[in-house]
Amino acid sequence: MNNYYTCVMHPEIKKDRPGICPKCGMALVPAGREMQTPANHSMHHAHMAADLKKRFFVSIAATVPVLLFSPMTQHFLGLGDRLRFNGDSYILFLLSAFVYLYGGLPFTKGLYDELKEKNPGMMTLIGMAISTAFIYSSLVVFGLHGKIFFVETVTLIDIMLLGHWIEMRSIMSASRALEELAKLMPHEVHLVLENGDIKDVPLMELKAGDRILIKPGEKIAADGKITNGMTSINESMLTGESKPVDRKTGGKVIGGSINGEGSITVEVEKTGKGSFISRVIELVRRAQESKSHTQDLANRAAVWLTIIALSAGVITMLVWLLADKEFVFALERAVTVIIITCPHALGLAVPLVVAVSAALAAKNGILIRNRASFEKARGIQAVVFDKTGTLTEGKFGVTDIIGFSEGFKDAEILKYTASVELNSEHPIAKAVVQAAGDRYPVENFRAIPGRGAEGSVNGKKVMVVSPGYLRENNINAADERIEKLKGQGKTVVFLLIDGKIAGAIALADIIRSESRQAVTALKSMGIKCMMLTGDNEQVAKWVSDELGLDEFFAEVLPDGKADKIKEVQGRGLITAMTGDGINDAPALATADVGIAIGAGTDVAIETADIILVKSSPMDVVSLIYLAKSTYTKMIQNLAWATGYNLFAIPLAAGVLYKFGILLSPAAGAVLMTLSTIIVALNAGLLRLKNGRR
């Protein structure tokens, strides 16, 4: 066994005792356990966000005295030399050095890493800017003729820390899905011993061949087959089947599904990596890792801005030296060029818009978890909806009442049925009771496992049974109306009074009222609307016809759902997936944009890029509108944040020097600040635009 401690993010770190990773600050764990939890990446993101937050506030605290001691600030406030004293420049240097070394560490380290990988980007530009300004200013403090740029240095660091903190907060929870998947299984199981005794043991001790007892209402702990008992099982979160499925001895069960009204004994067939849940976890992990990691717009702009800034700085210095200007003047021009190109505005151009749009979205019940996918939402060409819990409410409701006898009206049929079903825990029974409202007293209630229930009502023997019960007892229920309802995929239960069929009640998953509006709105935008479900063909066709969908896929299991998303993507369509169940997790992770219904499972929510808190399909329409507006603001901000350099860089380089126009470092700082303010104000306009829509 390994006897050392390591870091989950930097396994090359090895210590003989517990401690902190010197590279990222995460707690070290015993070797061999570093990859046991799916929360590792989530922990790392959380740590990075907390670290950026701490560095930002500490740096802000040190920036205040830097501003007070700065000659530029004092001159701007009209204080003259009233705050000046011997050695104040050294205090300014020490404070700035602290901000540079502590607050600027993520950027100087990023500069080193990007250059090492020969992939310059935002970190290279920021790192070069703050390092050039700080080193040059420090040389001025210790004797070099020139001007100091400490204010520009520390404020640039502060703003960059703020921007990256905002960015990290928006992505820090993107890898929690696998952790939530692991929570689906119970911690303990009821193990049936050879002598028949029951012993509660940890789930991890379970192995193939063991027998376990599953009590009513409990989660099924592993994949296996029933060796004793009969029950109904809710598999909707795993397979998408909207109604509970009946299972008896010999039937298969899936770990993570929920047992219904009966106790069953299950022989374990698959545990660990071979289980259904583990395969879903693996599908989600692969899909997440295979997502495009294309750099965001700001990083791509930063690459070019880095090249322009460094090239302009070097060229400026060489030109002035060739023009016989003294070295200090040439160096000051070069530094001014690099500083004025510092991406204050660029660093905030995207994070500010994201922060505003995320706040605006949250106010309207749309939570953005993945920025890159949210940006993709503006170009969605196909929306694939899960059925159960997304387009439908995920619960049964009474849709039709069929009378077989003139003596019983619809209200009476419903009332008799609800009277018997009142004592049943089956979801279908609950739907009937809720629809009826009024009931008769019932005596001698008895459940018929997997087939229905019976009791005495008004002195009559009343039974509520499934079609299977009628077949088993050779009771003829042939009726065109019933066949039509079955053809629509609806569930039908029969009311028997004193052994004769008095009526039938049809139930189906209730379609959300907002679903029709959403489909109509999306199709008017030229977006194809599809449905993906594990439910049967008849149910899927009925829902599709009711909503006017372009296409539907039925009887698709979780691994197949991910494949169907790839199939739609293969048609060249930017595809969004909207779902709420565990069975949707791989598809949500595979889609270009994964959208989870907020009332769904934690797994779906943690896998998705965007969460609709109000569980309304209409919010998909709002999301697309917001994504389009957000992208427009990003482009405007990036255009300004980089475009102003077309004017500022030549002025800073001194192209108008012979006309007596020379941009000072202070004026350059004002231009930088102005560009940042413009970017911030423009981001704020997003709120007004979407507030009016």
Nearest by Cα to 572 from 528, 619, 627, 516:
528
**Cα–Cα distance measured from residue 525 to residue 111, given in angstroms and rounded to the nearest whole number:** 44
**Cα–Cα distance measured from residue 575 to residue 74, given in angstroms and rounded to the nearest whole number:** 56
* pLDDT value of position 98: 96
**153 by DSSP, 3-state: which?**
helix
| Residue 198, number of CB atoms within 10 A of its CB | 10
Nearest by Cα to 129 from 335, 432, 308:
335
* Alpha-carbon distances of 573 from 346, 531, 566, rounded to whole Å: 31, 15, 10
**Cα–Cα distance measured from residue 231 to residue 55, given in angstroms and rounded to the nearest whole number:** 57
Nearest by Cα to 157 from 226, 100, 215:
100
* Alpha-carbon distances of 67 from 80, 150, 163, rounded to whole Å: 14, 9, 21
Nearest by Cα to 66 from 155, 127, 147:
155
* Alpha-carbon distances of 467 from 413, 450, 479, rounded to whole Å: 17, 11, 12
Q: Which residues of the chain have pLDDT under 50?
A: 1, 24-26, 32-41, 171-175, 177-178, 283, 287-295, 692-693
- For residues 613 and 360, is the Cβ–Cβ distance under 8 A? no
Q: Facing residues of 226 across strands? A: 266
Q: On the CB side of 643, how many CA atoms lie within 13 Å of its CA?
A: 9
* pLDDT value of position 290: 40
Task: Assess whether 386 carries a catalytic annotation.
Answer: yes
For the stretch 282-339, pLDDT in tens is 545 554 444 433 335 566 666 777 777 778 888 988 999 998 887 777 877 877 787 6
Pairing of strands 593-597, 575-579: parallel
Strand-by-strand arrangement of the 264-270 sheet: 198-202, 188-192, 211-214, 264-270, 223-228, 252-253
* pLDDT value of position 30: 59
Question: What residue spans of 457-591 are helical by DSSP H?
Answer: 467-472, 480-487, 513-524, 537-547, 558-569, 585-590
**CA quadruple 493, 497, 502, 505: dihedral, nearest 10:** -20
Which two structure tokens, joined as six digits, stand for 110?
């990023």
- Which residue in this structure is represented by tokens 């090359």? 12
Q: What secondary structure does DSSP assign to 290-358, as a single string? A: HS--PPPHHHHHHHHHHHHHHHHHHHHHHHHHHTT--HHHHHHHHHHHHHHTS-HHHHHHHHHHHHHHH
* Alpha-carbon distances of 241 from 264, 451, 488, 534, 582, rounded to whole Å: 21, 19, 15, 5, 12
- For residues 188 and 215, is the Cβ–Cβ distance under 8 A? no
Nearest by Cα to 256 from 190, 183, 315:
183
**Cα–Cα distance measured from residue 246 to residue 509, given in angstroms and rounded to the nearest whole number:** 17
Nearest by Cα to 425 from 276, 558, 263:
263
The H-or-E segment that residue 41 falls in is: helix 40-69
* pLDDT value of position 634: 81
- Which residue in this structure is represented by tokens 């530029």? 72
Nearest by Cα to 641 from 336, 304, 335:
304
* pLDDT value of position 101: 95
What percent of the residues of the chain are helix, what percent strand, and what percent coil, each to the nearest 5?
Answer: 50, 20, 30
Candidate list 158, 296, 386, 535, residue with the active-site label: 386
Return phi, psi of residue 192, to 5°: -90, 115
**Cα–Cα distance measured from residue 8 to residue 30, given in angstroms and rounded to the nearest whole number:** 10
Which two structure tokens, joined as six digits, stand for 679?
């970017």
| Residue 227, number of CB atoms within 10 A of its CB | 13
**Cα–Cα distance measured from residue 105 to residue 503, given in angstroms and rounded to the nearest whole number:** 76
Measured at the alpha carbon of residue 259, what is the angle toward residues 37 and 286, in degrees to the nearest 5? 30
**34 by DSSP, 3-state: which?**
coil
**368 by DSSP, 3-state: which?**
strand
**Cα–Cα distance measured from residue 299 to residue 125, given in angstroms and rounded to the nearest whole number:** 10
Residue 235 burial class via C-beta count within 10 angstroms: exposed 0-12, middle 13-18, buried 19 and up: buried
